Amino acid sequence: MTGTLRARAAASGAQVKQVSYTRGFTYSTQVLRLTLPGSTGASQTLLVTNDIQHGPLPALKGVGQATVTTTFRPEDPQAQAAYARAFPDRQPQVQTVIGLAGDTHSRVDVPGGTLTEQGTTVNWQALGGTVDVQGNDTRLNLSWPGLTVSDPGDGDPTTGTIGRVTLTGENRRNGPADPIGLGRASLTLDRAALQGDGASMNLTGLNISADTAAQGNYLNSTVKYDVGTLSLPGPDGAAQSLRDLQLHLSLGHLAREPLARLLVLLNDAPRSWTAHSRVSRTVPSVIRSRASARRSRRRPAPTCWPCCRTTRS
The per-residue pLDDT for 291 is: 56
The per-residue pLDDT for 26 is: 82
- pLDDT < 50 stretches in the chain: 60, 301-313
SS3 270: helix
In this structure, are residues 168 and 184 in contact, taking their beta carbons and an 8 Å threshold? Answer: no
| Residue 66, strand partner residues | 54, 98
pLDDT digits (tens, 9 = 90+) for 131-169: 999 989 999 999 999 999 999 887 789 999 999 999 999
Phi and psi, residue 25, nearest 5°: -70, -45
The per-residue pLDDT for 197 is: 81
In this structure, are residues 210 and 192 in contact, taking their beta carbons and an 8 Å threshold? Answer: no
The per-residue pLDDT for 304 is: 41
The per-residue pLDDT for 305 is: 41
pLDDT digits (tens, 9 = 90+) for 64-113: 678 899 999 999 999 999 999 999 999 999 999 888 788 899 999 999 99
The per-residue pLDDT for 102 is: 81
The per-residue pLDDT for 297 is: 55
* Identity of the amino acid at 202: N
The per-residue pLDDT for 236 is: 77
SS3 10: helix
The per-residue pLDDT for 250 is: 95
Strands 113-117 and 104-110 come out as unpaired
In this structure, are residues 161 and 195 in contact, taking their beta carbons and an 8 Å threshold? Answer: no
Query: For the packed helices 2-11 and 256-298, what is the interaxial angle rounded to 10 degrees?
Result: 100
Judged on CB neighbours under 10 Å (0-12, 13-18, 19+), 91 is middle
